[in-house]
Amino acid sequence: MPKSSNPELRRSVTPWGSFSWGYSDVGADIFVGLGLVLAWAAGASNVAFLFAGIVYVCIGLAYTELAATYPVAGGGQYFVMRGLGDIFGFIAGWAVLLDFTIDVTLFAWTSVDYSSQLLPALVNSVHPWLHFTVVLALVIGLCLLNVVGVRESTAFNGVVSALDVVSESCILCFGFLFAFRPHLLIHTMQFNWPSPYQLMLGTSLAIISFVGLESISQAAQETQRPASIIPRTSVALILTILIFALAYSNLALGLQPWHPILDAHGHPQQFWQIFPNNADNQGKAVALLAAQVPYYGAFAALYVPVLGAVLLLISSNSGVFGSSRIAYAMSSSNLLPSIFQRVHSRFRTPAISIVFFSTIAVIELLFAAAPALYPHVAALYGRFFHGENGLEFLADLYAFGAATSYSFVFLGLIGLRLTDPLSPRKFKIPLNVPFRFRGERVEFPIVAVIGFVGIVSILLFTLRTHALGRIFGPSWLLLGLILYLAYRHHRRLPLLRSQKRDWRSAQTEILRRAGELELMDEYVANLKASDERKRRTA
């Protein structure tokens, strides 16, 4: 925890603000993931989304329990550190940092792609330098917005999230009423089923459409009464996004017929008739789908690109917010240098963390944009990375970071159930097996095991099918571990072991600062009862 002499993060996130922080990240993912999954999973796109959706539900339930029980800014990194130890907490946090910095660039990139539907000058393949310049300007602008304060960012998210929920619901309602053909869905699944490799690749990309629940837990330390608010907002978000993802994938398969074409390597693939194998179109699939809806499509073709661009922009904004809060929490726990813990005296935001990780996002943008900006770089990509473009590069790393961090979160949940059974859990995931561990009654979470197996499968799919992700993802983790060990050695802290901490006092203080005084009293009573039982049996 930060020292009391330092200014603390301001608690200004309301219930709708908590939902909109998550929706602005997860809700925007379908705008990116739909095109990428359709391009590879073809007639099994809905199956890919279903598998990723089941894993997402497990992830969502785990995050809901953990964020409500431990309402701190660190999110998954803090949960893993507390449940498994410092070095595992660092790995989980460093993987999430990769995800959120990619989030900044990926969604700013696709925000410009959606804008190009109405402004053709922004098409990346036509004017790559203009596309790059606009994306760079958006990243810098969001960095400055977050330095000013979370209240302003939350208000920005809330309005657009509400508009998008209404818009996506309208697209689905009109699409299923006037354009959806069930027989075409069945035909597409029967005759356009992908190869096992393509299905694995599509499934690994489908998880992109469900990444972002971390944003709610990142805002927990700035949320009013988090133990009460977070379960409601998280469950609502889980159901909303799951319904949207499954509905859009089925609507796409039953809306227009598919036809075979050859990809860049001469391999036969199946592609949506209105969705050619083009990265510029992959980045704006929802806008293309909406334009095909009868009656509503003519209107949707005008506003969906705008709304999609704005929603993707606030998802990019969530990446700036999330990366800075993770770094703030990791610094507070001696996993990163203390400079990332500093809070601006006027705005009360972690300004240094915001600027530093926004800079990392700019570096990722430079690497992703290089093939379009320089032909000789594109030739290298084609030779060594199977011709992957900038959007696919960002998606590769996004999927790798998400799968890695979520794998550790499930293990952290299991560890905390065993080592910290006394913390009150206002929300607890279902399907638990009770038994006694170290003299205390604990409940082993079956859902965490199911989720762990699912997310590790997606991680293996990612490593198997993504050339760039297979190289740069593990390289990011290796670089982080080197920096971590160097920092711990400099501070004379344990390298592979955990620093000694008083978790009891820390948890009491966390609940007090969160305003959850009833839970704090319950926790203190549980501790006293446990100590009394141990004295009697000693």
Provide the b/e sequence for 130-166 (b: ≥16 CB within 10 Å): bbbebbbebbeebbebbbebbbebbebbbebbeebbe
Question: What angle (nearest 5°) sits at the alpha carbon of residue 364, between those of residues 358 and 368?
Answer: 140
Convert the pLDDT of each residue in 277-323 to its tens digit.
455 566 688 888 888 888 888 899 889 999 889 888 888 887 887 78
Convert the pLDDT of each residue in 160-216 to its tens digit.
778 888 999 999 999 999 989 999 999 889 988 888 998 998 999 898 888 777 666
Q: What is the SS3 assignment for 269? A: strand
CA-to-CA distance for 409 and 501, rounded, in angstroms? 20
Report percent pLDDT > 70 for the chain. 83
Q: Which helix (H) or strand (E) holds 61?
A: helix 45-69
Residue 532 CB partners (closer than 8 Å, separation 6+): none
Q: Model pTM?
A: 0.86
Does 491 or 153 have the greater pLDDT score? 491
Residue 483 CB partners (closer than 8 Å, separation 6+): none
Does 15 or 339 have the greater pLDDT score? 339
> Domains (ranges, CATH) in the chain?
15-473 (1.20.1740.10)
Nearest to 110 by CA among 309, 279, 372: 309
Q: For 487-508, what is the mean pLDDT?
A: 92
Strand 258-262 versus strand 268-272 pairing type: antiparallel
